[in-house]
Amino acid sequence: MYNFSALIDDGVAMDLEGKIEICSRLMIGNMEINDELDGNCIADFTGEQIENFRNLMIRNNKKIVLLNCSKPVTEQEYYKKILRKGHLLGVENINVMIGSNDKPDEAFVDGLKAVCKIGAAYGIRILLENSSRTFLSTDKAISQVYEKVRNQYSGLIYNPLEYARLKSHPFFHMFYNSRLKNDIRFLRVNDGLFLDGNPVLPAKGNAEIKELASILLARGFKGYFSFITYFKKTDFIIYVEVIENFKRLLMEM
């Protein structure tokens, strides 16, 4: 009925088989992965590694809906390789890396435009995610960059906890006034406190996750509710608690 996806932390499972097993136990078929697996960057995978990866996903009925990249958009050769390999693996979206020292200058925008062009050629959507630690910390800042590259193969990851860490209301301040509502492809399912930014279970803090999920669904959201590690302690039980808590919220809507 709804699309759930999960990024399994390396502290829970290191290799691809282990991450697949955890997702299966969580009853999630849509996987998110980082660009490094088993000590190897996917951009540098050999043909044999690609085939083994692909076959493992097919056997376990899994797909990669989000690939997190580790290099800035100015490193074009990396993105050419990662998107080519991602295409072979059936990747739907990539999350470009925004560093804490990056600036929304001409080089960044030109690099992002080039990455979006490559992504469009492979049918892979290029996504930006808000973060309290980068220049993409507010909806206004994101809009100023995103609207320069916006096309059918671009999109956004909405991370409410990152807004809460800035003591900004993720729904009433950021989402409500945003011009980019229809571009959200992933909603991070997390929550935290204005007081200190510490994480809590969904709907136990100030990140307004219930309001966000409700309004997105009312608007016909077909994207992914994304479960990632956001607690300091990470184990299988934490994933279960967050997912089950969010399911209860959905059933109350």
Global pTM reads 0.96
Q: How many other CB atoms are found less than 10 A from the CB of residue 248?
A: 11
Look up residue 146 and give its two tokens.
């995103």
pLDDT of residue 182: 96
pLDDT, tens only, 24-79: 999 999 999 999 998 899 999 999 999 999 999 999 999 999 999 999 999 999 99
pLDDT, tens only, 146-179: 999 999 999 999 999 999 999 999 999 999 989 9
Q: What is the chain's alpha carbon radius of gyration, rounded to the nearest angstrom?
A: 17
- Hey, where are the domains in the chain? 3-252
Closest to 99 (Cα-Cα) out of 135, 75, 66: 135
Report the top-level CATH class of 3-252. alpha beta
- CA–CA separation, 170 and 160 (whole Å): 5
